[in-house]
């Protein structure tokens, strides 16, 4: 059975003390929640806060810690970069790869992301692989084509065993940080399409066990409706993950 996941991507926010306070507030806020064995909460703070996040949550079975990015190489002359093995060495278990901001601001190609996926898995991390279309692509009606190409080039080089250790996050770029959210029907339509591609490539049993998260302005008000869809297995949360009460509400939306 695939996991129901809520992952909080803090992006470039918080200082050290604020980060520690947010972690503690989330942990405290979840104490009275009923978290099933099929649920997972993932915190993805900036690199400097990974270690305190791990330290504060390592005894909590349903919380994992993720980095927001990694480099494709294990080591070398890449000033300012962080390798997957470095991330794993501080106790994090996941890493976000291919977020739209990395694709669009930092010009990361599908081919480069494919290398990152392998680097992450080789280091023992679980990639949260992001895909999604921009507004002009949806308006042109090529959003399915765009997402399929991103998956083919960035993810579908993996073997059947490797793909089982992947989380996919669909993030319509036109709904990130805009306050605009894909309708529940739009989210389900794309998630179902992504799962159909997984079935075609890796067969039904494997596809049915891969979690697909929604990542476009999911918040405390709309999470329950989004998560009720058959192929929406949770959310990759941006702004709402910076407020403990909102994040806890989203976790409790299953």
Active site residues: 99, 171
DSSP states of 15-66:
-HHHHHHHHHHHHHHTTTS---TTEEEEEE--GGGHHHHHHHHTT-TTEEEE
Separation between Cα atoms, residue 90 and residue 253, nearest integer Å? 30
CB 192 within 8 A of CB 230: yes
**Positive or negative: CA dihedral 59, 65, 71, 76:** negative
Residue among 176, 167, 175 nearest 194 (CA): 167
Distance of alpha carbon 172 from the chain centroid: 13
Cα–Cα separations (whole angstroms), residue 54 to 44, 49, 96, 148, 165: 10, 9, 16, 34, 20
Q: Which residues pair with 214 in a beta bridge?
A: 170, 235
According to DSSP, the residues that pair with 208 across neighbouring strands are none
β strands within 105-190, DSSP E: 126-131, 167-170
């Amino acid at each position: 059975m695939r996991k129901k996941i809520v992952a909080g991507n803090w992006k470039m926010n918080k200082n050290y003390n604020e980060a520690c306070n947010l972690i503690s507030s989330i942990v405290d806020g979840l104490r009275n929640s009923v978290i099933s064995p099929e649920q997972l909460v993932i915190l993805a703070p900036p690199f400097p806060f990974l270690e305190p996040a791990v330290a504060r949550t390592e005894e909590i079975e349903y919380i994992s810690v993720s980095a927001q990015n990694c480099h494709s190489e294990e080591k070398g002359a890449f000033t300012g970069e962080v390798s997957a093995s470095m991330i794993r060495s501080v106790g994090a278990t996941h890493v976000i790869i291919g977020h739209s901001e990395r694709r669009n601001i930092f010009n990361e190609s599908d081919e480069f992301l494919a290398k990152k996926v392998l680097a992450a898995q080789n280091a023992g991390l679980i990639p949260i692989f992001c895909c999604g279309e921009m507004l002009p692509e949806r308006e042109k009606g090529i959003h399915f084509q765009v997402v399929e190409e991103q998956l083919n080039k960035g993810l579908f080089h993996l073997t059947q065993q490797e793909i089982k250790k992947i989380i996919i996050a669909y993030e319509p770029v036109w709904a990130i940080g805009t306050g605009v959210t894909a309708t529940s029907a739009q989210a389900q339509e794309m998630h179902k399409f992504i799962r159909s591609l997984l079935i075609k490539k890796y067969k039904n049993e494997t596809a049915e066990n891969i979690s697909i998260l929604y990542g476009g302005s999911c918040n405390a008000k709309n999470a329950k409706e989004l998560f009720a869809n058959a192929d929406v297995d949770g959310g990759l949360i941006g702004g709402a993950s910076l407020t403990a009460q909102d994040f806890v509400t989203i976790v409790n939306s299953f």
